Amino acid sequence: MAIVKFFATLRDITGKREIEIKNVKNVGELLHRLYEIFGDEFKNEVEGRNMILVNGRNILDMDGYKTEINDEDIVSVFPPAGGG
Amino acid sequence: MMYGYWGKILRVNLSTGEIKTEEFGEDFVKKWLGTRGFGIHYLLKEMDPKADPLSKENKMIFSTGALTGTTAPTGGRYMVITKSPLTGYIAIANSGGFFGAELKMAGWDAIIVEGKSDKPVYLRIEDDKVELKDASHVWGKRVGETEKILTEEFGDKHVQIASIGPAGENLVRFAAVMNNGHRAAGRGGVGAVMGSKKLKAIVVRGHKRVEVIDRSKFISVVREKTEILKNDAVAGKGLPSFGTAVLVNIINQNGLYPTMNFRYGQFKYAEEQSGEAMAKKYLKRNKPCYACPIGCGRVNDTETVGETEGPEYESLWALGANLGINDLASIIEANHLCDDYGLDTISTGGTLATAMELYDRGLLTQEDLGDAPPFRWGNTEVIHYYISKLAKREGFGEVLAEGGYRLAEKYGCVDCFMGVKKQELPAYDPRGAEGHGLGYATDNRGGDHIKAYLISPEILGYPYKMDPHDISDDKVKMLILFQDLTAVIDAAGLCVFTTFGLGADDYRDLLNAAFGFNMSTEEWLKIGEKIWNAERLFNLKAGLNPLEEDTLPKRLTDEPMPEGPNKGHVVRLKEMLPRYYALRGWNEDGTIPGEKLKELGLEEYI
Ligand code: SF4
CB–CB of B187/B193 below 8 Å?
no
* Chain B residues contacting A via beta carbons under 8 Å: 233-235, 237-239, 241-247, 249-250, 253-255, 275-276, 296, 312-314, 449-450, 453, 455-456, 459-462, 465, 467-468, 496-497, 500, 564-566
CA of B450 to the centre of ligand 1 (A): 13
Across the interface, of B234, B276, B467, the residue whose CB is closest to A80 is: B234
Instruction: Please name the residues in contact with B228: beta carbons below 8 A apart, sequence gap of 6 or more.
Output: B501, B502, B506
* Contact B234 CB / ligand 1 (< 6 Å): no
Q: Does A60 touch chain B (CB under 8 A)?
A: yes
- Taking CA atoms, B173 is separated from B163, B183, B603, in Å, by 16, 18, 32
User: What H or E segment, with its residue span, contains residue B528?
Assistant: helix B521-542
CB–CB of B258/B427 below 8 Å?
yes
Nearest-CA neighbor of B527 among B20, B22, B32, B15? B32
Give the three-state DSSP class for B110: strand
**CATH entry 1.20.1740.10 includes domain B429-500+518-605:** no
Angle, to 10 degrees, between the axis of helix B345-360 and the axis of helix B328-341?
120
- Taking CA atoms, B175 is separated from B18, B91, B171, B183, B202, in Å, by 26, 12, 7, 13, 16
Instruction: Please name the residues in contact with A32: beta carbons below 8 A apart, sequence gap of 6 or more.
Output: none
The dihedrals phi and psi of B21, each to the nearest 5 degrees, come to -110, 135
pLDDT in tens, chain A (84 residues): 999 999 999 999 999 999 999 999 999 999 999 999 999 999 999 998 899 999 999 999 999 999 999 999 999 999 988 887
**CATH entry 3.60.9.10 includes domain B8-205:** yes
- Residue pLDDT, tens place only, B390-415: 999 999 999 999 999 999 999 999 99
Note the pLDDT of residue A84. Answer: 74
- Residue pLDDT, tens place only, B233-277: 899 988 998 999 999 999 999 999 999 999 999 999 999 999 999
Q: What are the residue ranges spanned by the domains of chain B? A: 8-205, 245-423, 429-500+518-605
Give the atom of ligand 1 at the shortest distance from the alpha carbon of B496: 4
How many alpha carbons fall within 13 Å on the CB side of residue B35?
A: 33
pTM to 2 decimal places: 0.98
Q: Interface pTM (ipTM) of the complex?
A: 0.97
Give the three-state DSSP class for B283: strand
What superfamily in CATH does domain A2-78 come from? Beta-grasp domain (3.10.20.30)
Distance, CA of B258 to CA of B232 (rounded, Å):
29
Distance, CA of A30 to CA of A19 (rounded, Å):
12
Q: Does A51 touch chain B (CB under 8 A)?
A: yes
Across the interface, of A53, A57, A79, the residue whose CB is closest to B238 is: A79
Question: Checking phi first, is residue A63 left (phi over 0); if not, alpha (psi -120 to 50) or beta?
Answer: alpha
* Contact B497 CB / ligand 1 (< 6 Å): yes
**CATH entry 3.10.580.10 includes domain B245-423:** no
Q: Point out which residues pair with B544 in neighbouring strands.
A: none
Which string of DSSP letters, residue by residue, matches B410-427?
Answer: HTT-GGG--EETTEE--S
CA atoms B380, B382, B388, B390: torsion sign: negative
- Consecutive sets of 10 residues in chain B, 606 residues long: mean pLDDT of each? 94 98 97 98 98 98 98 98 98 98 98 98 98 98 98 97 98 98 97 98 98 96 97 90 94 98 98 94 94 95 94 97 97 98 98 98 97 96 95 98 98 98 98 98 97 97 96 98 98 96 96 96 98 98 98 98 98 98 98 98 96
Across the interface, of A49, A56, A80, the residue whose CB is closest to B253 is: A56
Distance, CA of B30 to CA of B63 (rounded, Å):
16
Note the pLDDT of residue A82. Answer: 83
Distance, CA of B203 to CA of B163 (rounded, Å):
8
Note the pLDDT of residue B1. Answer: 77
